Amino acid sequence: MKSHTEELWFQTRKRYEFVDITEKLENALKASGVREGLLLCNAMHITASVFINDAESGLHADFLEWLEEMAPHEPVSAYRHNVGEDNADAHIKRQIFGREVVIAITEGKLHFGPWERVFYGEFDGMRRKRVLVKIIGE
Identity of the residue, 33 or 72, whose beta carbon is nearer to Zn ion in the bound complex? 72
Selected from 87, 92, 118, 122, the binder of Zn ion by CB under 5 A is: 87
Minimum distance from CB of 80 to Zn ion (Å)?
11
- The residue type at 138: E
Scored b (16 or more CB within 10 A) or e, 77-103 reads eebeeeeeebbbbbbbbbeebebebeb
Verify binding: residue 49, Zn ion, rule CB under 5 A. no
Q: Tell me the sheet residues that pair with 9.
A: 130
Residue number, 32 or 87, with CB nearest to Zn ion:
87
Instruction: By CB under 5 A, name the binding residues for Zn ion.
Output: 85, 87
